A and B are shown apart, each in its own frame.
Chain A
């Protein structure tokens, strides 16, 4: 290719990229940069134009706040448990759906329903179903004779984390199923037949062939879900607002920023959230070797 032709191709490439770059600057780089900037100031939300530079004291204030560390603990507990359950459940359901069972197409469509419902709507529905007096859930348990009177699932401080995890599992397992099913379908049928003819027992076929070949798909699914779970806001906020027992780091940042109007400290908390998500992403990508194992 001549140098002139190469230059023209480069120009065309930039022409196509420019709109995207502009949008990214506007919706990602600019707000992130503003947040980062404000985290070094003592600005308040009522008048952000008035501020003084305070160095890293906002960051220090956040990590000296026990409520922040409680939020970190909640967030990590929620992320680890819900993603683990979703992965196992997703893998199981995907394996079932991958078998040639009658009505498979219908099942595949049906399983996507929870994923299609907006988080706020699903959370509100579950909140009502779990209501201690009128909820259908307690009604069933009472009529089965398992309990005498309704349990306040969403009010009890010891149960609320379990409820949040349960609703999240209900909502996002379909996503896991879908990604793992896609991974399963890339495994050639003849390879499994070869193992079958060779007399490899079913558990070993799963453990030594299916699982290693599924690793990239499961890795991507776990990465997506983990990052989603760590910045989780809507589910816990709709269900319990600022309840300390399920306050996530995102809710903590929002409270500082909006409820307390502390633009500086809130921005610092948001930056910590950003760094936390980035750290988890780097660890997961490294641990799962997603950058290298993809497509092999």
Chain B
């Protein structure tokens, strides 16, 4: 069991900066997930923690001890790779027990440990097989077993489920969550899959272009993102955004009168697809053309064109929307669901003028269109 601390960690390759001054504290036993778009540096940051990539500057501390210059093999961490990285010429049993071979434990002790771990991960019936005879899910279980058998202080996962199909991904996600509950070891997990991040994490670290945008619990990130990037990144489908028209012209979007913001100059707004609902044209807060509907069975995504360059997505749960395509429809939502951002993309808190009742004709109420 160990905590991790990063202080002003940077990584540059030549003139290319990949990690820009990252500070982060991960508590003992915590499950932290790094998310971000591809190329944001999340895997590099994980490799810096593991010692596979040396930091260009800054410090890495494990359990309060500086390990910046300690090689990966001496850090007591375990790493699970996206490619599984199993040894193809060894049986499953030897793959799992390989790291113990040099520990002078004795053959029987190694065998017992390997069997315990294999049972825990339900691969005990596969011990004699070679990796190529296993399915993707089984390979990843073996890879996790190989990490587990050393009883490491810290578990690091680099997109471990990305090569699996979606059913298996869901199953393994639950198993990893259960594993963390059982062994309570510090875990750091890199993924680009939001569902994994939201369901597994105690805290999520959102990275963008080598910097941390926000650290928080899944719900914090969803409910109060600090900026437009986090707001757009967390949530699926992503948040709908619209730029506010400069001045108070009648064209474009504008905040309704009586909408109070706490300082800052609002320049754009966002509303999540699940906060929107479709109503009759003119009955909502703005109107648009229903361009297409994606049916996923249990939910439906309606694409509504509000202006030439703005299309908003509405998530309709349950029954598909009754409105026909290319029809003018209205959109309705609550003031509390509006996110307001300033010119730099920072979110500005607002007190909604909730005195205005729902369903009143759109005129001047919030976002106005055309």
Contacts and interface: CB of A to CB of B under 8 A. Distances in A.
A200 interface: yes
A208 B87 CA distance: 10
Interface in A183-224: 188, 190-191, 193-201, 204, 208-209, 212-213
A91 B105 CA distance: 33
Given A198-B78, A204-B101, A296-B132, A191 B146 contact: no
Given A194-B85, A197-B52, A296-B88, A204 B79 contact: no
A199 B101 CA distance: 11
Contacts of B83: 188, 190
Interface majority SS on A: helix, strand, loop or mixed? helix
A199 B85 contact: no
Contact of A200 (B50, B77, B85, B99): B99
Given A196-B72, A198-B98, A188 B89 contact: no
A100 B76 CA distance: 26
Most chain B beta carbons < 10 A, residue from A194, A197, A198, A208: A197
A191 B146 CA distance: 12
Contact of A198 (B71, B88, B99, B132): B99
Nearest to A212: B89
B157 to A, nearest CB: 12
A200 B73 contact: yes
B192 interface: no
Contacts of B79: 193-194, 197
A209 B73 contact: no
Contact of A193 (B72, B74, B98, B132): B72
Given A204-B101, A208-B98, A296-B132, A197 B88 contact: no
Interface size class of A (residues with CB under 8 A): 10 to 19
A212 B95 CA distance: 14
B15 interface: no
A113 B52 CA distance: 36
B129 to A, nearest CB: 14
Contact of B73 (A190, A197, A212, A296): A197
B102 interface: yes
Contacts of B72: 193, 196-197
B87 A209 contact: yes
Interface string B31-54: 000000000000000000011100
A191 B79 CA distance: 11
Interface string B80-118: 010101111100000000110110000000000000000
Interface in B144-181: 146-147, 150
A199 B100 CA distance: 9
B146 A198 contact: yes
Contacts of A204: 101-102
A200 B94 CA distance: 13
Contacts of B78: 197-198
A193 B85 contact: yes
Contacts of A296: 88-89, 132
A63 B58 CA distance: 76
B77 A213 contact: no
Given A199-B150, A200-B102, A296-B132, A213 B81 contact: no
Contacts of B101: 204
Nearest to B75: A197
A84 to B, nearest CB: 24
Contacts of B50: 197
Contacts of B73: 196-201
Given A199-B74, A200-B98, A204-B102, A193 B88 contact: no
A198 to B, nearest CB: 4
A213 B50 CA distance: 25
Interface centre among A190, A209, A213, A296 (most CB of B within 10 A): A190
B102 A201 contact: yes
Contact of B150 (A198, A209, A212): A198
Nearest to B132: A296
Nearest to A208: B98
A209 B88 CA distance: 9
6 contacts: A193-B81, A196-B71, A198-B73, A198-B150, A199-B99, A296-B132
Interface of B: 50-52, 71-79, 81, 83, 85-89, 98-99, 101-102, 132, 146-147, 150
Given A199-B102, A201-B102, A296-B89, 19 more contacts: A188-B83, A188-B85, A190-B83, A193-B81, A193-B85, A194-B146, A195-B87, A196-B52, A197-B51, A197-B72, A197-B77, A198-B73, A198-B98, A198-B146, A198-B150, A199-B76, A209-B87, A212-B89, A296-B88
Interface of A: 188, 190-191, 193-201, 204, 208-209, 212-213, 296
Please provide the 6 A-B residue pairs with the shortest distance between their CB atoms, ordered closest to farther. Answer: A198-B99, A194-B85, A190-B85, A197-B79, A199-B73, A191-B85
